[in-house]
């Protein structure tokens, strides 16, 4: 072993905010769904059942009417600061990853000025002007990309402590007449990374990001309601679910493999995969194809913790929330042991794909 120490980006604190409002499948029994303007003339119970079978989502969480995205981000951030045991004034950067800013209940209008990270800094009461707060808009892979940005900052020596937050209130931007509404959820989580010197690799070992905008950028966009009688002029989150599924299953394993190969870590040594909770069936297919790229026919049991069945898809918040819950032994059957290798991987609007190899 070399006697030379290197600088690594290491997780020292995590925190999350999971809304208390549980929205079950039965909450959509009175919904009227359309498909690009055409009424879906099927039994609503059957629609909900089929959706749950495909996505593995049985419940999702919505925030209270009186809060916005920056509010829940600040709660998650405060929890992470407490967990890390640091003085909040020691933070050098706050990176807040989201896609829709602050949207008040019933407005469908987004506010991004000032940046949500600046709002969170103010809500936390951080006075230090050297704590730089900014946002990243990067689709669902935003938090992973924020983590990569934090790694650059920490390894450059420009920062010692960086907090990366993923927070979203998707319930405020979905079309109530679109079946895909049932996928999306609200939530927030924050992770504090610190620069640590170490003789052996620890923390972030390697990462890889790619953007497929030219061919696939239209798979997730904003558009009008599927209900032709809805004339408000509002824009809603829209996705081409079938093509997105195909894109992710083919391309995500390739990008993840690039990150693993770059790290020099054997895939068999990876103990936990924190994958974006987008669609249960899709995530399983991605993992199966990843292992096939290494000529391995089976995915190890207990490799991929999943929260999608009860938390839904909260976009940028899914991976940091999952990390927080696993680290705090709140996901049955999963625990992190010092020295374990893990993988963070995500895909989303852009289309962006990214992955991080991490050693606890």
Which domain CATH number covers 305?
3.40.47.10
In a domain, 254, yes or no: yes
- Mean pLDDT of all residues in 49-68: 95
Q: Are residues 165 and 218 in the same domain?
A: no
Last residue of a domain, one of 198, 220, 236: 198
Predicted pLDDT of residue 304: 96
**SS3 state at 157:** coil
pLDDT class of 281 with cuts at 50, 70, 90 = very high
H-state helical runs in 56-114: 69-84
Give the per-residue SS3 of 283-345: HHHHHHHHHHCCCCCCCCCCCCCCCHHHHCECHHHHHHHHHHHHHCCCCCCCCCCCCCEEEEE
What does the pLDDT look like over 77-123, one tens digit per residue? 999 999 999 999 999 999 999 999 999 998 889 999 999 999 999 99
Q: Are residues 220 and 105 in the same domain?
A: no
| pLDDT of 317 strictly over 70 | yes
What does the pLDDT look like over 18-42, one tens digit per residue? 999 999 999 999 999 999 889 998 9
How many distinct helices (H) and strands (E) make up the chain?
9, 17
Percent of the chain with pLDDT over 90: 95
> Is the preceding omega at residue 64 within 30 degrees of 0, hence cis?
no
Q: Are residues 209 and 352 in the same domain?
A: yes
Q: Are residues 224 and 169 in the same domain?
A: no
Size of the chain in residues: 360
In a domain, 168, yes or no: yes
In a domain, 258, yes or no: yes
- Total domains in the chain come to 2
| pLDDT of 1 strictly over 80 | no
Q: What are phi and psi of 117, to 5 degrees?
A: -60, -40
In a domain, 96, yes or no: yes
A 10 A CB-CB count for 135 gives 23
What does the pLDDT look like over 154-182, one tens digit per residue? 999 999 999 999 999 999 999 999 999 99
Last residue of a domain, one of 165, 198, 231: 198
pLDDT class of 239 with cuts at 50, 70, 90 = very high
Q: What residue numbers bound the domain in which 264 lies?
A: 203-359
CB 312 within 8 A of CB 59: yes
In a domain, 1, yes or no: no
Last residue of a domain, one of 147, 173, 198: 198
Q: Are residues 143 and 122 in the same domain?
A: yes
Q: Are residues 289 and 185 in the same domain?
A: no
In a domain, 186, yes or no: yes
Predicted pLDDT of residue 18: 98
Q: Are residues 61 and 172 in the same domain?
A: yes
Nearest CA among 327, 301, 312, 292 for reference residue 22: 312
pLDDT class of 233 with cuts at 50, 70, 90 = confident
Predicted pLDDT of residue 132: 98
CB 146 within 8 A of CB 180: no
Q: Are residues 183 and 214 in the same domain?
A: no
In a domain, 142, yes or no: yes
Burial class (CB in 10 A: 0-12, 13-18, 19+), 283: buried
Q: Are residues 214 and 91 in the same domain?
A: no
Q: Are residues 14 and 152 in the same domain?
A: yes
Predicted pLDDT of residue 36: 82
| pLDDT of 353 strictly over 80 | yes
| pLDDT of 2 strictly over 70 | no
Q: pTM of the entire structure?
A: 0.95
- Mean pLDDT of all residues in 53-78: 97
In a domain, 45, yes or no: yes
Q: Are residues 155 and 210 in the same domain?
A: no
Q: Are residues 312 and 343 in the same domain?
A: yes
């Amino acid at each position: 072993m070399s006697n030379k120490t290197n600088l690594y980006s290491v997780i020292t604190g995590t925190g999350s905010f999971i809304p208390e409002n549980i929205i079950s499948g039965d909450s959509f029994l009175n919904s009227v769904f359309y498909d690009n303007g055409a009424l879906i003339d099927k039994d609503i119970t059957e629609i909900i059942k089929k959706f749950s079978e495909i996505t593995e989502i049985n419940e999702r969480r919505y925030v209270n009417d009186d809060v916005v995205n920056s509010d829940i981000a600040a709660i998650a951030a405060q929890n992470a600061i407490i967990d890390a045991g640091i003085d909040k004034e020691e933070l050098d950067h706050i990176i807040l990853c989201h896609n829709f800013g602050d949207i008040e209940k019933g407005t469908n209008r987004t506010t991004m000025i000032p940046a949500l990270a600046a709002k969170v800094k103010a809500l936390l009461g951080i006075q230090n002007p050297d704590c730089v707060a900014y946002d990243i808009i990067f689709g669902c892979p935003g938090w992973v990309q924020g983590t990569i940005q934090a790694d650059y900052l920490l390894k450059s020596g420009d920062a010692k402590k960086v907090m990366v937050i993923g927070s979203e209130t998707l319930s405020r931007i979905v079309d109530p007449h679109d079946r895909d509404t049932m996928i999306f959820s609200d939530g927030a989580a924050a992770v504090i990374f610190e620069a640590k010197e170490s003789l052996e690799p620890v923390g972030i070992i390697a990462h890889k990001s790619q953007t497929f905008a030219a061919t696939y950028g239209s798979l997730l966009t904003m558009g009008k309601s599927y209900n032709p009688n809805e004339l408000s002029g509002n824009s809603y989150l829209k996705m081409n679910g079938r093509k997105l599924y195909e894109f992710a299953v083919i391309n995500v394993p390739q990008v993840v493999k690039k990150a693993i190969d770059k790290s020099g870590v054997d895939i068999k040594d990876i103990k936990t995969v924190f994958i974006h909770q987008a669609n249960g069936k899709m995530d399983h297919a991605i993992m199966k194809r990843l292992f096939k790229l290494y000529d391995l026919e089976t995915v190890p049991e207990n490799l991929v913790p999943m929260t999608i069945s009860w938390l839904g898809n909260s976009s940028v918040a899914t991976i940091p929330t999952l990390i927080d819950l696993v680290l705090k032994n709140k996901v049955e059957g999963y625990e992190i042991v010092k020295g374990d290798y893990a993988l963070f991987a995500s895909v989303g609007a852009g289309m962006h794909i990214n992955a991080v190899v991490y050693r606890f």
